Amino acid sequence: MAQILVWADHDGAVLKDATRNAVTAAAQLGAVHVLVAGSGVAGVAQAAAMISGVAKVLVADDAAYAHGLAENVAPLILGLMADHDAFVAPATTTGKNIAPRVAALLDVAQISEILSVEGPKRFTRPIYAGNAIATVESSDAKLVITVRGTAFAKAGDAGSAQIETIGTTGDRGQSSFIGAEVATSERPELTSARVVVSGGRALKDAPTFEQVLFPLADRLGAAVGASRAAVDAGYAPNDCQVGQTGKIVAPEVYIAVGISGAIQHLAGMKDSKIIVAINKDEEAPIFQIADIALVADLFEAVPALTASL
Ligand SMILES: Cc1cc2nc3c(=O)[nH]c(=O)nc-3n(C[C@H](O)[C@H](O)[C@H](O)COP(=O)(O)OP(=O)(O)OC[C@H]3O[C@@H](n4cnc5c(N)ncnc54)[C@H](O)[C@@H]3O)c2cc1C
């Protein structure tokens, strides 16, 4: 049976949900071993061991891995690939940073953002910003794959995998961690939220964006997203951006407020189960994919909707 090495995405304390989607994809390829690399990551390893379908958790605990620097982590993975047939990472910021370096070191072609597993080496993946789906087959001996989380269910918590501590490869001295400014929020994480309320350029400025959208998001227990125009104009932080160059989301409900529906935005949210669009222009492209379309001025419609909940 093929052995698959899955990258556990975590922040040092909490295992990110995207790991669970990657495990579901990897389980279709073979026996799943999850690599937890970091510093002081015993808790993360325990959480990974409980994921259904995981056979083994490999723990590499070293200060060099504390911030997931690809330059330090990739040599570790390269060593482990002697015993594995595929490296699978969630298509998160960290996964997308590490996987190409691993692919280069293995001298194989990376298969990015798979949507389905069609065979041992055959996958589907989006091209042209998700407007076409390509079926690709690798001829490489080892596979390096990133997984689009929205295309695979999250593996549950019924597992009890063994945890094995492995040797580390240390600091390669090629890069160093300077700092991170991480936006903290009480709201659910954008990529795993059941409901997302997103705002666009029409929200005017940062205070208006907050004033109009946050009460609705709070009422619904929703994550807040934004179009790139809203992010570029400084209404919302970068990690709120939904779309081709932002995050890919597929919540149960996506509410697009004052967003035109440019193809690059749709690439990030069109797989949402129910799409609600509020826009004053009835010709706005977002209405072509909306399940519920409200042609209205958002400054009237959103407060009225919030008040009615
Ligand atoms: C390479 C590339 C990558 C990109 N990646 C992304 C990406 O990841 N994500 C992304 O979002 N964009 C991305 N873009 C940008 C994209 O092309 C659009 O420019 C952007 O999505 C537009 O944002 P918007 O809908 O907020 O603004 P606009 O297109 O300006 O739309 C604003 C909408 O608000 C409506 N409106 C105005 N006032 C009101 C009101 N009072 N009430 C109700 N409705 C109102 C208008 O009718 C309009 O439809 C990318 C572009 C490129 C070239």
pLDDT number for residue 181 = 82
Taking only the tens place, the pLDDT of each residue in 41-65 is 999 999 999 999 999 999 999 999 9
Average pLDDT, the chain: 96
Does residue 183 surpass a pLDDT of 80? no
pLDDT number for residue 192 = 86
- Ligand 1 nearest-atom number relative to CA 284: 49
Share of the chain above pLDDT 70, in %: 100
What does pTM read for this prediction?
0.86
pLDDT number for residue 210 = 97
CATH code at 190-308: 3.40.50.1220
pLDDT number for residue 47 = 98
Residue 293 CA to residue 255 CA, distance in Å, equals 10
Answer whether 3-165 and 190-308 agree in fold: yes
Taking only the tens place, the pLDDT of each residue in 216-246 is 999 999 999 999 999 999 999 999 999 999 9
Give SS3 for 207. Answer: helix
Q: Measured in angstroms, how far is the CA atom of residue 15 from the centroid of ligand 1? A: 33
Domain borders along the chain are 3-165, 190-308
pLDDT number for residue 203 = 98
Of residues 29, 275, 272, the one with CA closest to residue 138:
29
Report which protein residue has its CA nearest ligand 1's atom 35: 258
Of residues 7, 164, 186, 30, the one with CA closest to residue 97:
7
Q: Measured in angstroms, how far is the CA atom of residue 228 from the centroid of ligand 1? A: 7
CB neighbour burial string for 83-122, b if at least 16 within 10 angstroms, e if fewer: ebbbbbbbbbebbbbbbbbbbeebebebbbbbbebeeebe
pLDDT number for residue 184 = 78
Pick the CATH number of 3-165 from 3.40.50.300, 3.30.470.10, 3.40.605.10, 3.40.50.620: 3.40.50.620
- Count CB atoms within 10 A of the CB of residue 132: 8
Taking only the tens place, the pLDDT of each residue in 276-298 is 999 999 999 999 999 999 999 99
Residue 167 CA to residue 165 CA, distance in Å, equals 7
pLDDT number for residue 147 = 98
pLDDT number for residue 18 = 95
Which protein residues touch ligand 1 with a CB less than 6 Å away? 200-202, 227-230, 241-246, 258-260, 262, 264-265, 268, 278-281, 284, 297-299
Provide the pLDDT confidence category of residue 180 given band limits of 50, 70 and 90: confident
Taking only the tens place, the pLDDT of each residue in 128-142 is 888 899 999 999 999
Q: Are 4 and 30 in contact (CB under 8 A)?
A: yes
Q: Are 214 and 235 in contact (CB under 8 A)?
A: no
CA angle 174, 179, 181 (to 5 degrees): 140
